[in-house]
Amino acid sequence: MNIAIERFMSYMSVERGVSPNTIAAYRNDLLQLAQFLTGPGPDAMWETVSPDTVAAYVLHLHERGYSDATRARKTASVRSFFAFLTEEEDIAEDPTRNLSSPKTGRALPDTLSVEEVEALLAAPDGPTPDAARDRAMLELMYASGVRVTEMVSLDLGDVVPDQGFVRCFGKGSKERLVPIHPRAADAIVKYLEHGRPELSSKSSGRALFLNRRGARLTRQGFWLILQASASRAGIASRVSPHTLRHSFATHLLHGGAPLRHVQELLGHSSITTTQLYTHLTSEHVRAEYEKSHPRA
C-alpha cells in the first residue's frame, strides 16, 4: 500500500513542485488513512476503498477533534491521492469524487509575470544539444499549456511545427490539438535539426524529448531542467511545471481569451476547474481600472 503513497509523493514533488513541508504533511495524512483502513490486519488494497469507507474516515477525523483547517487539508490529501490513482489507472473509479470538505478558501495557483517567463525561456543558452532541447520544451510548455506528463510523452510526429500545433493525450487518454506560437515551433525545429540527432541512441525510439543517454526524458528530468533554468533566470519564487501551465492560462485570459477557449486548450473536462483563473483575471481588471480610470 505504501508503494502507491510514495509514487504519489514523487508526483507531487516533481510534477506539481509541492514544498517539502507539504509533502511531509501529505505523507502523514495518507499513512494515517492507511492505518485507518488496515488497522492491525494485513494491508488493504486501494481499489477496495469505497465512498462509504472514505466517509467513515472523514467522520473519524471529526470525532478525533481535528480543526476545520486540518480536516480540510487531510481531505484534500485524500482527494488528490485518489485522483492520482484514478489518472494512473490503478483504480477504476475515484471513491472521493463526491467528497466535500470544510470550507477554508481555495488557494490561487502560482503564476509568473510575462517578464519572468521571458527570462525563463531565455535561460537555456548556448549551442549544445541540451540547450536546444531545454529551450524547445520551455517554449512548448508556455505556448501550449500542456501538462508535463503530456509533454514528456510526446513522440515524433505529435508536434507539427510548420502547421503550428501539438497533439497530446490528456487525462483519460483524451486527444486534443493545441496551437503553438511560432517561437515555440521555431525552437522545436532547431531542436529536431541540431539537438535530438546528437542525443539520439538505439533506445530513443519515437520519443521527442531525450535525455543525455538517448532515452525518453522523464518528469523528474524536466523538473531538474526547470529548476536550473529558473535559477539562471533569477526567479526567486518557486517554479514548477504547473507554474508554467498556470501562467499560460492566466496570460491568455489577461489578453482577452474566452474562458471556454482556455478550458479547451488546458484539456479541462469541466469549466469549473478553469474558472479558478477568473479570480486572477478579476484582480488584473481591478488593477487596470485603478490605474486607468481618471477618478479611480
Return the C-alpha torsion angle 100, 262, 209, 134, nearest 10. -100
What radius of gyration do the chain's Cα atoms show? Answer: 21
3-state secondary structure of 178: strand
Could you tell me the end-to-end alpha-carbon distance of the chain, in angstroms, rounded to an integer? 58
Closest to 111 in 3D by CA, of 285, 277, 293, 296: 277
Residues 177 and 166: beta-carbon distance below 8 Å: yes
Judged against a pLDDT cut of 60, whether residue 29 lies above it is answered with: yes
Higher-pLDDT residue of 269 and 83 is 83
Inter-residue contact 120 to 239 (CB < 8 Å):
yes
> Quick one: which of 273, 284, 223, 220 has its CA closest to 250?
284
Of residues 164 and 156, more confidence is placed in: 156
Report whether pLDDT(94) > 80. Answer: yes
**Model confidence at 212: pLDDT above 90:** yes
Q: Which three cell numbers stand for residue 264?
A: 479547451
Percent of the chain with pLDDT over 70: 79
Cell numbers representing residue 104 in the block: 477554508
Cell of 232: 539562471
Q: In the prediction, which pLDDT does 289 show?
A: 37
Task: Give the pLDDT confidence score for residue 226 in this predicted structure.
Answer: 93
Window from 39-48, 87-96, 220-229 with minimum mean pLDDT: 39-48
Beta bridge partners of 56: none
Alpha-carbon 6 to chain mean position? 18
Residue 183 pLDDT > 50, yes or no?
A: yes
Pseudo-torsion of CA 233, 239, 242, 248, nearest 10°? -40
Which residues are marked as active site? Answer: 147, 171, 242, 245, 268, 277
Highest mean pLDDT among 18-22, 48-52, 277-281, 289-293: 48-52
pLDDT at 251: 78
- Reported as a single tens digit per residue, the pLDDT across 262-277 is 666 666 555 454 455 5
**What SS3 state is found at 169?**
strand
Render 203-261 in DSSP notation, one character per residue. T-TTBSSB-TTSSBPPHHHHHHHHHHHHHHTT--S---HHHHHHHHHHHHHHTT--HHH
DSSP structure class, residue 93: S
**CA 179 centroid distance within chain:** 19
> How many Cβ atoms from other residues are within 10 Å of residue 268's Cβ?
17
pLDDT of residue 116: 93
pLDDT of residue 122: 94
Nearest to 119, CA basis, from 104, 103, 135, 137: 135
**More confident of the two residues 14 and 169:** 14
pLDDT at 118: 93
pLDDT at 207: 95
* pLDDT, position 264: 61
> What proportion of the chain, given as a percentage, has pLDDT over 90?
29
pTM, two decimals, is 0.60
CB 243 within 8 Å of CB 152: no
* d(C-alpha 87, C-alpha 91), whole Å: 8
Q: Looking at per-residue confidence, does 233 or 236 come out higher?
A: 233
Residue 42: pLDDT band (50, 70, 90) is very low
Cell of 153: 510523452
What value does the mean pLDDT take over residues 125-130? Answer: 92
* The pLDDT value given to residue 71: 85
Domains and CATH numbers, the chain: 2-87 (1.10.150.130), 114-285 (1.10.443.10)
**Most confident range, picked from 89-98, 154-163, 189-198:** 189-198
Q: In the chain, which ranges are E strands?
A: 159-160, 165-169, 175-179
